[in-house]
Amino acid sequence: MRQYGRTAVAAIAGLALLVSGFAVFRAWSAIHAVSPHAQPQDLIALVQAKSDQPGSLGWKIKHDERINILLLGYGGPGHEGPYLTDSIMVLSIRPGTREAMMISLPRDLWVKIPALPRNGFMVGKLNSAYAIGTDHKNSGQPVDYWIGVDFKAFREVVDALGGVRVDVPMALDDPYFPAGESSGMTHIHVNAGWQQFDGERALQYARSRETTSDFDRSRRQQLVMLAVRQRVFSLNAIPRMLSLLSALQDNVRTNLRPGDMQQLAGVAGQLKDTDIHRVAIDTSNLLRSGTSSNGQYILQPLDP
């Protein structure tokens, strides 16, 4: 269980923009917005597909080393607790065997957060730790790359894809779902069976938890992420990729460089649905519930 996909949609979007051949400056602006650490030479590397230095993604793929990617979903500006993560997953890929594991980490997991000077830390819930080191230590896996997506980007990506189809295993009824940016509530209902979701509906299905649980929500988020992946790789329409890039610019952050995105999309595109094993860490396997010193509901490992 300790060996722990949303694919890098930005890779395909970036490639679509590049092959259009008329907007190199726009391509660079978008790349830098999504990946602030990108350098001008990364734009060249994206075209030439050169990224095989030791420790790089290309190196890991060539030598069949495990690749771990942290996927974070958060509200963003205009939402209560805008940078509290609603979705925390680790996607672990073994490129040689074309196997992957998608592990959902619960937001109520009580962890050490490296947020103080001189390597100090505080304790708190995992969803308050928008920090790579925390998830590294608590997933049991080194995190190579991370991607953070806010609600607005998620909705726009799904809509740009023309929606996604999700096989809903159990009907969902939630009369207490947050009503947008207001403090009110709205009633959502999703029938069991195959459903076509637009961006807003997919987000509702992935976020609802009042009438179920965080653990159920984690499993639904995995279903939605797989549906997004399937839709991305079933498309051949380049104009939709341009729409995706537009959605990603202001609402997605990642440490993946453009060349990495291209290679990661290639690896992910070779995976079959049956190659991706889904795991939700909960009180039925590795965790126990408890209460913090200040009265919060928390989850802790069975063997801390």
Tens-binned pLDDT, residue by residue, of the chain (304 aa):
434 333 333 333 333 333 333 333 344 444 445 455 555 444 444 444 445 678 788 889 999 999 999 999 988 877 777 778 889 999 999 998 989 999 998 989 888 877 656 666 778 888 887 544 455 555 556 888 988 889 988 998 899 889 999 999 999 999 999 876 556 889 999 999 999 999 999 999 999 988 888 899 999 999 999 999 889 888 754 456 556 666 677 788 888 887 788 788 888 888 888 899 999 888 988 899 999 998 999 999 887 5
pTM over 0.85: no
The whole-number pLDDT of residue 16 equals 32
pLDDT of residue 243: 60
What is the predicted pLDDT for the residue at 269? 82
Task: Specify the pairing of strand 252-254 against strand 145-150.
Answer: antiparallel
Residues 81-133 pLDDT 10s: 777 888 999 999 999 898 999 999 898 988 887 765 666 677 888 888 754 44
Q: What is the pLDDT of residue 83?
A: 78
Place of tokens 């740009």: 160
pLDDT of residue 7: 35
pLDDT for position 49: 44
Please say whether the beta carbons of 15 and 260 come within 8 A: no
Report how far apart, in Å, the C-alpha atoms of 9 and of each of 26, 157, 200, 254, 265 are.
Answer: 18, 9, 19, 12, 7
Please give the sequence-ordered ranges of beta strands (E in DSSP) within 95-184, or none if there are none.
99-104, 110-116, 120-125, 145-150, 164-168, 172-178
Instruction: Give SS3 for 208.
Output: coil
Q: Could you tell me how far CA 198 lies from the centroid of its own chain?
A: 18
Classify residue 178 by burial, with Cβ atoms within 10 Å: 0-12, 13-18, 19+: middle
What span, in angstroms and rounded, lies between the C-alpha atoms of 174 and 172? 7
Helix (H, G, I), strand (E, B) or coil at 281: coil
Q: What's the token pair of residue 23? A: 């907007």
* Structural domains in the chain, sorted by start: 9-301 (3.40.630.190)
**Which neighbouring-strand residues pair with 91?**
69, 102
- The pair of three-digit structure tokens given for residue 85, joined into one six-digit string: 């993560």
Q: Could you give the C-alpha distances from 240 to 9, 159, 160, in angstroms and in order?
A: 11, 10, 6
Print burial letters for 246-266: b (CB count within 10 Å at least 16), e (below 16). Answer: ebbbebbbbbbbbbbbbbbbe
Say how far apart CA 57 and CA 63 lie, in whole Å. Answer: 10
